[in-house]
Amino acid sequence: MSEYTSVTISKGRGGWGGPLTITPTAERPLIYSVTGGGIHPVAARIAELTGGQAFDGFKSSAPFDKIAVAVIDCGGTARIGVYPMKKVPTVDIHATSPAGPLASFIKEEIFVSGVGTADVVAQ
Amino acid sequence: MTSALSVTVEEQVLYSSTVTAVGEQVATFVEGHGILVFFGVDSPAELHDFSALHEASVATAGPRAGDVVELGGTRIPVLAVGSVVEANLLNLGHIDLKANGAAEADMPGDVNLPSDTLVVPAPGSTFRILRPAGPVASPEDPA
């Protein structure tokens, strides 16, 4: 049995939204990194602090209902809205704000951007 | 004054790929929003609905303003390019083309094109990024 703990993820410089509190559960254990070059350091940090399982979305796929948080390196059009639309809390490492065809799904309660590893803090 | 000796180069192919699949929502994105999203074939399934998937045979650089994107044989000038475009293209095969006519990239992932220039690509069509033949003023040249 894993024990999970919570982190607070705040917007970084030029960012938008949040802060988000993320607590993985046995049902939603995945820290889902949809980023270039493997597991992003922000995703690795969230996994380290929470006990969640870092997962590379470009290596294999996972159902939305297993994802505790999605970490993206979205430039502001597509991924920025996909995960919020599916009610998955979303962390963009780039300093984006709601835009694109899916902008209406991007709310402060479910999305935070401009995030670096220092913006992920254990509770 | 080496910069006085302008060098003429032929048009370079910076990126070349073949479209392998076109998601159900691509037409809505293109016709409703003037946006065409590409992702590499290895991208997660949840991104496929609104994406043209493609497989690159040349992937050396992303576009900059003044380059040309060629989609299914149609050449479209690039007006502006955001700061993360090249990394996303080379790492993920991901690029967002926006036919918004804007001279500045609002979002770091934007590639701005003239308004009403995008069409829905057909599977099997070619996507290329071309850098026009020189002489080209290079910002890297010493003054």
3-state secondary structure of A119: helix
CB of B63 less than 8 A from some CB of A: no
The partner residues of A82 in beta bridges, in order of sequence, read: none
Q: How far apart are CA B24 and CA A122, in angstroms?
A: 41
Burial of A36-65, coded b for 16+ CB within 10 Å and e otherwise, reads beebbbbbbbbbbbbebebbbbbeeebebe
Q: Are A109 and A88 in contact (CB under 8 A)?
A: no
pLDDT digits (tens, 9 = 90+) for B66-123: 999 999 999 999 999 999 999 999 999 999 999 999 999 999 999 999 999 999 999 9
* pTM across the whole model: 0.89
Nearest C-alpha of chain A: how many angstroms from B124? 23
Within 96-115 of B, beta carbons closer than 8 Å to A belong to 96, 98, 106-110
Q: What is the pLDDT of residues A51-101, one digit of tens each?
A: 999 999 999 889 999 999 999 999 999 999 999 999 999 999 999 999 989
CB distance from A99 to chain B under 8 Å?
yes
Looking at the complex, does the CB of residue B28 fall below 8 Å from at least one CB of chain A? yes
Nearest alpha-carbon partner for A9 in A63, A62, A72, A101: A72
Contacts of B85 in chain A (CB under 8 A): 75
H or E element in which residue B71 lies:
strand B68-71
A76/B88 CB distance under 8 A = no
